[in-house]
Structure 1
Amino acid sequence: MRLLGKRAFVTGGRQGIGRAIVDAYLAEGAEVISCGRGPMPGGFPCAWHSLDVSDPAAVAAVGEAIGPLDILVNNAGVQVEKTVTETSDADWDHVMGVNARGVFNCCRAFIPAMRAGGAIVNIGSISGQVADPSMALYNASKAFVHGLTRSIAVDHGPDLRCNAICPGWIETGMLGAAFDLARDPDAARADALARHPVRRFGRPADVASLAIWLASDEAGFATGQLFTLDGGMTAASPLTPGAF
């Protein structure tokens, strides 16, 4: 029960990584509140706010309604599979609005009321460090999250800590959409899998396990860091393992 007595707000908790974090935090004793664009999903295990994180006024109102927190997890994110020249203004507003401005909005709204010793966990991506093809806005938005993470850690310590998890290829709907861009999705998936020393893709629960530690008192000396969680994929050279 590493989070017993702590209050946490997890954005984008409907499914995938967000839902895994919600469930893991509840299991560790936290009081959890979550949000998403639509109504509360059926059977959802904690309090819910219908919220578009790209709307600063709406985020501020939810922040007032929720009150003091110990943990903020900025997980809500969207993806558009396009290059720069293919990207429209509407794509910019959608991706940067949620992935970049949404994280900024939540941090700005919740930091003033966070309890001393609080923790922010931002969900970044290895895509903010190395560029995935045809994902220009997504790559850029995650690089923004990484920079904001460092700034918050520097500006708001020692009152709170701020770190980012940078997942690699996690088995979610976003991963499937990325493979669908390939000429041969099955071959692309097999090649990607071979590039993981652990020989599997990540699971949402893998990210949730790290999110527990970063939110807990055990991580009291960790702040301003980007924690890569990619099964060793970016540790390897671009040569396909087993080719030699």
Structure 2
Amino acid sequence: MQHTAIVTGGSRGIGRAIVDRLIADGANVVTCGRGERPADLPVAVIWLQADVSKAVDAASLVKAAREHFGPVTLLVNNAGVQVEKTVAQSDDDDWDLIMNVNCKGVFNMCRAALVDMSETGGVIVNIGSISGMVADPSMALYNASKAWVHGLTRSIAVDHGPKVRCNAIRPGWIMTEMAEDGFALANDPQKAMSDALARHPVGRFGEPEDIANMVAWLASDQAQYISGECFTVDGGMTAASPLNPGLF
């Protein structure tokens, strides 16, 4: 089917790869960010400057998609932020930033999109993280926010099926600016990156296109029997023992 899709945070990284893949698959796409429209965004893509933590902006995205293309049939909640702090280091502003974007933003978008989807059907794909099931050091609020996304995914699948299928993807180390910021926390970033790479059975870090491929499959008719699941896409990293195979 030809989807009317909304992808949040589609200006760069994983979000941009998802936008490009959906366009290639024939979808009509609306995307957004808090800045100006990227100059290289395909002309066919509708861009809105929006903050998904605001319910009015979420509603505007759904309205724009409906007016340009028809009822929303695919929502990909990709927009997210991170703060590199422990609980003891975090303040109220850190809490508000992380929870407003990573949690409230997903909630706002799902609630707005479900108006159409509850009538005509649809698919929701939430971008979670392996950090929501295994904690990254000094990323306390981010870790917690992604666990929340995984929980909401299951609730939407249970409450809004069979009209709506909802699943989450838990990316591992995908080479984006956020990943680089995470490695920068280490005392020796290069050593940390080398050690992390050694823990990947597939022998490489992920690329944004790896996540876009998974989104495309979950949005397709091939995944009609799949809902309420969280799929780890991390090159096998969290499947392995913490022993570094490079040391043996």
1:113 aligned to which of 96, 109, 116: 116
| TM-score in terms of structure 1 length | 0.96
Shift of 1:57: 2.0
**Corresponding residue number in structure 2 for 1:149:** 153
Post-superposition Cα deviations, 1:174-212, rounded to whole Å, max 9, x if no partner, equal 111011100000100000000001111000000000000
Q: How far apart, CA to CA, are the structure 1 residues paired with 2:138 and 2:206? A: 21
1:218 aligned to which of 214, 218, 222: 222
CA contact (8 A) 2:4 2:65 kept: no
Shift of 1:141: 0.5
1:20 aligned to which of 11, 17, 22: 17
2:140 aligned to which of 136, 145, 170: 136
Number of residue-to-residue matches in the alignment: 241
**Corresponding residue number in structure 2 for 1:55:** 54
Matched to 1:145, the amino acid is: V
**Corresponding residue number in structure 2 for 1:75:** 78
Greater alpha carbon shift after TM alignment, 49-58 vs 114-123: 114-123
Superposed CA RMSD: 1.0
After the TM superposition, which residues 165-244 of structure 1 pair with which residues of structure 2 at under 5 Å, given as runs?
Answer: 165-244=169-248
Shift of 1:112: 1.2
Matched to 2:140, the amino acid is: A
Runs of 4+ in 1 over 3 A off after TM superposition: none
| TM-score in terms of structure 2 length | 0.95
- State the SS of the aligned residue for 2:247: coil
Greater alpha carbon shift after TM alignment, 101-110 vs 114-123: 114-123
Q: How far apart, CA to CA, are the structure 2 residues paired with 1:161 and 1:34? A: 21
**Corresponding residue number in structure 2 for 1:100:** 103
Shift of 1:64: 2.6
Please state if 1:41 is matched with 2:38: yes
CA contact (8 A) 2:131 2:143 kept: yes
Q: How far apart, CA to CA, are the structure 1 residues paired with 2:240 and 2:14? A: 25
